[in-house]
Chain A
Amino acid sequence: MAIISVQRKPLSFLERTYLPALASGLFTTIKYLFGPAETLQYPEQRPAIPPGYRGVPALVKDPNGREKCVSCQLCEFVCPPKAIRITPGSVKPNAGVDQVEKAPQAFDIDMLRCIYCGLCEEVCPEEAIFLQNQYSMTGYSRAEMVNHKDRLYEIGGIRPDQHFKWDVKKIAEEAAASGGHH
C-alpha cells in the first residue's frame, strides 16, 4: 500500500479570520431556532412502545379467565436478582381444569430488585408471565414497590392463547375415558 500524501490546503485570508465560519454557524443555529421542537410533552404525550419491550413483569390469564401460572417456581429459581417469591398452593377442586394441580397462593415481585432482564418470561413453561408495556413504576415506600399477586394480574390482564394446553389435555383425557381405543 502506497502512502498517499494529501496536501493540506492553506487557509485563505478570509478563512483565517474565522468570520465566514462564524456566519455559517450562526445561520445553522438560527435554522434550528425556527425548526419544530422535538420534545415529547411527557405526561400528556406517551412514547410509542415498540414490540418486544421489556416493561414491568406481570402475570396473565388465558382468554377463559383461568390463571395460567402453575407455581412451578422456575421463574423464582432463574431470577438473577431474586426479585420473585412464590408461595405454591393447590387449585380449588372443580375450578374448571382439573388436570392442573397447583396455582400460586402468593406471588410477589419486588420491583426494587427486578432488573427487567426477561428471564422469567423466557423460562416460563406455561407462558404465564410477561414483561409488558408498563414502563413507569413509582411508590412512596418499599412495601409499595412490591407487586402482589392481585396487582400482577391487574397489570397483566388477559392475553390471547394459541395452545390452550390444559384444555387440549382435558379433551384428550375425556375422549380416552369415554372409551376410545385403550
Chain B
Amino acid sequence: MILQAENLTHLYGSRKALDGLSFSVSKGEIFGLLGPNGGGKSTLFRILATMMSPTSGSAQVAGFDVATHAAEVRRRIGVVFQTQSLDRKLTVEENLIAQCHLFGMSGARLKARVEECLDKMRLTDRRADVVDTLSGGLKRRVEIAKALLHEPEVLLMDEPSTGLDPGVRRELSDHMQELRAKGGVTILLTTHILEEADRCDRLLLIHEGRRVAEGTPAELKAKVGGDVVVMESEAPDGLAEKVKARFALEPHVNGNHMRVEIANGHRFITEVIEAFPGAIQSIALHKPTLEDVFLDETGASIS
C-alpha cells in the first residue's frame, strides 16, 4: 500500500468535515475520491498534502506519517491544486526551475528533469511563455509538469478537471493514464465530475465526511439493479405511491422527478405510461451511473 488512511477525523470548530475515514491505495492505481462539494474531499486532500494535521486518526504515504513526517512525505508527493499555484508573472520554464530549487535540485539533474517534464506534458514549445498568457488547459498542464519534477511516487490532484472544457478534460485524463502506464505513478484525485470518476481504477465515494461505498466504477454500478428510469411529473409523490403499489418498486422522488431502478426498463416504460395516462410528462431510461450509486446510498446528489 503506497497510501493509507486510518480513521481520519477532522473538525472545524464543532463541524465534522471528516468522520472516521479509512481507505488504502495500491501502487500504480488511479484512485478517485468522489463526492459532492463540501463533502470532505478538500479537507482530506489538504491533510494528505501535508497542509494541515487531522484532528485524529492518521495517514501514511510510502510509510511516512503525513502529520509527523511532513518533509519525508513532501519529497514523495506531487501536488496539483484545484486553484493555480504558479507564479503568473514568470515563464513556464522559470516556474519549473523555481520548483526544482524548492526541492533542492540543481545542475544536470534539474536540467534533465525540466526537459523531461516539459516533454511529457507537451509544453516544450511553450517554455518561454509567461504563465499569465496561457489558456486554462495549458496552465493545468504546467501545474502537472511542476508536480512531477521531483519524481513523486504519488500524485495528488484536487479536482483536476474543474474549470476545463470537455476536450481538455479528455486530454488530461489521457495524460494521467500515460503517467501511470509509463512511470508507475500512483494518482489520487478528488472529483465531483462523473466522467472523470468513471476513468479511475477505483473509487471511494464520500458524503458528509463518511465513506459511502468503495470499489471499481463497474463494481459500484453493478450494485444498482438493471436500468434506471426517470419520470417527470407534476405530482411526483402521488405517482410514486401508485408505482410502488402497482409494480412493487421503491421509487425515489427528487423535485418533480421520480426515479426507479428496474431490470428490463424498456418494458417497464410502456407499462407505466399505459397504467397512468397523463400522469407522466416525460420519461427516460439510462444505464446506472455513479450518480445513481450515490443517490441510492445517500439520498443526495453528487453535483
Partners in one complex: no
Measuring CB to CB, which residues of chain A are less than 8 angstroms from any residue of chain B?
Answer: none
User: Measuring CB to CB, which residues of chain B are less than 8 angstroms from any residue of chain A?
Assistant: none
